[in-house]
Amino acid sequence: MTRLSRFETALEGLSRKDRLRGLAPREGLDFASNDYLGLAASPRLAEAVREAIGRGAVGAAGSRLLRGNHPEHEALEAEAAAFFGAEKALYFGAGFSANVALIQTLPQRGDLVVHDELIHASVHDGLKGCRAETVAFAHNDAGAAEDAIRAFRERGGTGAPWIAAESLYSMDGDRAPVAELMALAERNDGFLLLDEAHATGVLGARGRGLGRDLRGTRGARLDPHLR
Ligand SMILES: Cc1ncc(COP(=O)(O)O)c(C=O)c1O
């Protein structure tokens, strides 16, 4: 029995059930990626990347908080904020890390995170280190989200509710009732965290997503694929 044998046993178990995952070559028709607009092979984007590299933006060389902040980052974020009509934008290396970071830093102890039961795995991962109380609501059911907030208040919860949802769910292809969720956040002095990963570039005026036109006063927006 070696230290590694429990992992080997687990891998063999997965293999026996035909559930062992591996990396496959990219081939055949694409019905599984999220490259809806074909941007991954865009010559214009490739050219923009080459130009940026020419301006010296090869690597951050450190955390942005220390020496890693580059004018290219700031220019990109300013452009994104202007496009989305937001006060500010902040890019992350991946949507996954954006969701984990937001869920683990914004909601505070005493708050409530009310999330759609089908929200992306990255939010679920973030919830594991979240200081707030967390509860799922039935998929796309704003009434169920409201019930969860009411129950939180009834058991003495005084913090802010954070409603987390995706605007467009890629697996099911359906949209969240974003206006209702925003109104719910407003009525309860809370926030809407809207993951527009699959709506950006696809839904809303000029592909700005569904959150763009919500006129909330305190709505937080989350666009993991803006990077
Ligand atoms: C809704 C949603 N949010 C976040 C992510 C994570 O984004 P990334 O792949 O950029 O880490 C994904 C990935 O598919 C997603 O579908």
How many Å lie between the centroid of ligand 1 and the Cα of residue 223? 10
What residue owns the CA closest to ligand 1's atom 8?
95
Model confidence over 19-58: pLDDT tens digits? Answer: 999 998 888 888 888 888 889 999 999 999 899 888 877 8
Q: Whose CA is nearest to atom 9 of ligand 1?
A: 95
In this model, does residue 222 exceed pLDDT 70?
Answer: no
Mean pLDDT of 193-208: 93
Neighbour count for residue 91 (Cβ, 10 Å): 15
* Residue 227: predicted pLDDT: 30
pLDDT at 215 over 70: no
Q: Is 104 in the pocket of ligand 1 (CB under 6 A)?
A: no
The DSSP string of the chain is: --TTHHHHHHHHHHHHTT----PPP--S--SS-S-TT-GGG-HHHHHHHHHHHHTT-S---S-IIIII--HHHHHHHHHHHHHHT-S-----SSHHHHHHHHHHHSS-TT-EEEEETT--HHHHHHHHT-SSEEEEE-TT-HHHHHHHHHHHHHTT--S-EEEEEESB-TTT--B--HHHHHHHHHHTT-EEEEE-TTTTTTSSGGG--SSTT---SS-EEE-TT--
Q: Domains (ranges, CATH) in the chain?
A: 95-222 (3.40.640.10)
Separation CA 74–CA 120 (nearest Å): 28
Ligand 1 atom showing the smallest separation from residue 170 Cα? 16
Q: What per-residue confidence (pLDDT) applies to 210? A: 92
Q: Is the CB of 120 under 6 A from ligand 1?
A: yes
Separation of alpha carbons 56 and 43, rounded Å:
20
Is 122 close to ligand 1, i.e. is its CB under 6 Å away?
A: yes
Instruction: Decide: 219 and 194 in contact? Cβ < 8 Å.
Output: yes
Residue nearest to atom 4 of ligand 1 (CA): 95
Tell me the per-residue pLDDT of 137-155, one tens digit each, with 9 for 90 and over.
Answer: 999 999 999 999 999 999 9
- Ligand 1 centroid distance, CA of 143 (Å): 26
How far is the centre of ligand 1, averaged over its atoms, from the C-alpha of 82 (Å)? 23
Which pTM was predicted? 0.87
User: Whose Cα sits closest to atom 10 in ligand 1?
Assistant: 95
99 lines ligand 1 (CB under 6 A): yes
- Please name the amino acid found at residue 120: H
Is 193 close to ligand 1, i.e. is its CB under 6 Å away? no
